[in-house]
């Protein structure tokens, strides 16, 4: 899936910046799902 978002707010917490966005468009591709977990890319299922 691919999301196109508009940033609506930004919060600085320590050395991190958190962006809050409003989804304006969403698309779903034909490829396999992909997950990033514990520093590695993994497949679902």
Domain that holds residue 31: 2-43
pTM of the model as a whole: 0.53
pLDDT at 2: 86
The pair of three-digit structure tokens given for residue 21, joined into one six-digit string: 């966005």
Maximum Cα–Cα distance across the chain: 39
Residue 30: count other Cβ atoms within 10 Å of its Cβ: 4
Looking at residue 16, its pLDDT comes to: 96
Pairing of strands 2-13, 40-43: unpaired
State the pLDDT confidence band at 32, using cuts at 50, 70 and 90: confident
At 29 the pLDDT is: 81
Quick one: pLDDT at residue 20?
98
Total structural domains within the chain: 1
Using alpha carbons, select from 45, 24, 22 the residue that is nearest to residue 34.
Answer: 45
User: Does the pLDDT of residue 44 top 90, yes or no?
Assistant: no
């Amino acid at each position: 899936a691919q999301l196109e978002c508009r940033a609506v707010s930004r919060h600085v917490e320590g050395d991190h910046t958190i962006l809050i966005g409003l989804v304006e468009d969403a698309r779903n591709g034909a490829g396999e799902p992909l997950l990033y977990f514990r520093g590695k890319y993994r497949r679902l299922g």
